[in-house]
Amino acid sequence: MTMTLEPLHPFGIVAHGCDLTQGVDDATFARILAAFNEHALIVFPTQSLDDDSQTEFSARFGRLEGSLREMRMFEDRPVRQEVLDVSNVGADGNLIPRTSKEAIPFVANELWHSDFSFKPVPAMASLLHGRIVAPEGGQTEFADMRAAWDALPDEKKALLEGLVAEHWLKHSLGTVGYEITEAEKAAMPPVQQVLVRRHPVTGRKSLFLSSHASHIIGWPFERGRALLDELTEFATQPRFVYRHTWQAGDLVAWDNRCTMHRVRPWDVMRYKRVMRRTTVAGAGPTVSEGRPTQFA
């Protein structure tokens, strides 16, 4: 397989010449992994993957997470356990209105976030495959949290090091008007995540922000909230953001440890947008007993 890599702006890379359905040899995968760690985002244009081949390729990056359906949060869709259906098409084939409970995953995805930061061990990577893409809107934006960190003044960096935020799905879903049930609360209690991470491969530091983060532990709620809002606004300036306009079949892999992403709105009652996500588990919790861990 002759793969060539082309940089994207302001970050990320496109891998040309890969047919992911044909099996990727070890030497090529080593280049993919190195590019993933360095660039934090890789686009594999127009891949004709199905759930099985997407799962097989994704598992090269590490152990895969089960979908949210594990927690019985959203209705079952006919996809395998490792695959998350992020589409606006219901099991009956009809478009899902934004007001339906089934729309929560894609409506909440309009908020800047890092996948599964509401779990004790946040996701390492996600791979999103565009099965049917919207002809307008529905782009996905990615913010480089390493570049954002680098651009902060030193006094700010000193303030942020060592801070811990509370992340809770209740918080982000509340933002889009959804009250989680008592059972969902019990299944997904609040967790703590460091605010600043260091990448285990490159050693680069980055902000760790997400729509799931509500406040800073040990700070008055409103003060922590204001800091998170200020940092999110800073980190998602256009100079740090790559916007992906989907072609059918594109697979985008990103590093959740050092990026945030969000989907841009599209006309959900007019256009089908069918995406499938596979999620690679993180190595460990970023906080243990209130303190940063080796996985931070």
Element housing 253 (H / E): strand 251-255
**With contacts defined by CB under 6 A, how many residues of the chain interact with ligand OGA?**
10
User: Which C-beta is closer to ligand OGA: that of 86 or that of 152?
Assistant: 86
Using rule CB under 6 A, residue 275 touches ligand OGA: yes
Element housing 288 (H / E): strand 287-288
User: Which C-beta is closer to ligand OGA: that of 64 or that of 227?
Assistant: 64
Give the nearest distance from C-beta 149 to ligand OGA in angstroms.
21
Cβ neighbors of 5 (< 8 A, separation 6 or more) are 13, 14, 15, 16, 31, 35
- Give the C-alpha separation, 191 to 286, whole Å: 10
Q: Which does 263 bind (CB under 5 to 8 A by kind): ligand OGA, Mn ion, none?
A: ligand OGA
Tell which positions 110-169 bind ligand OGA, by CB under 6 A. 115, 126, 128, 140
**Among 106, 126, 85, 131, which residue's Cα sits nearest to residue 265?**
106
Q: Taking a C-beta distance cutoff of 8 angstroms, is the pair 216, 193 a contact? A: no
Burial class (CB in 10 A: 0-12, 13-18, 19+), 224: buried
Interface residue with ligand OGA among 51, 102, 261, 295 (CB under 6 A) is 261
In the bound state, the residue with its beta carbon closest to ligand OGA is 263
Q: What's the full length of the chain, in residues?
A: 296
Stretch that binds Mn ion, among 98-106, 111-119, 132-140, 225-233 (CB under 5 A): 111-119
Give the nearest distance from C-beta 167 to Mn ion in angstroms.
13
Give the nearest distance from C-beta 36 to ligand OGA in angstroms.
17
Exposure pattern of 89-104 as b/e (b: 16+ CB <10 Å)? Answer: bbeeeebbeeeeebbb
Using rule CB under 6 A, residue 54 touches ligand OGA: no
- Could you tell me which residues are beta bridge partners of residue 197? 206
Q: Taking a C-beta distance cutoff of 8 angstroms, is the pair 106, 85 a contact? A: no
**DSSP one-letter code for 101:** G
Interface residue with Mn ion among 82, 115, 250, 255 (CB under 5 A) is 115
Give the nearest distance from C-beta 133 to ligand OGA in angstroms.
10
Using rule CB under 6 A, residue 236 touches ligand OGA: no
- Could you tell me which residues are beta bridge partners of residue 198? 205
User: Which C-beta is closer to ligand OGA: that of 28 or that of 249?
Assistant: 249
Q: Which does 275 bind (CB under 5 to 8 A by kind): Mn ion, ligand OGA, none?
A: ligand OGA
Using rule CB under 5 A, residue 255 touches Mn ion: no
What letter represents residue 14's amino acid?
V
Q: Which residues bind Mn ion (CB under 5 A)?
A: 115
Per CB under 6 A, residues contacting ligand OGA are 86, 109, 115, 126, 128, 140, 261, 263, 275, 277
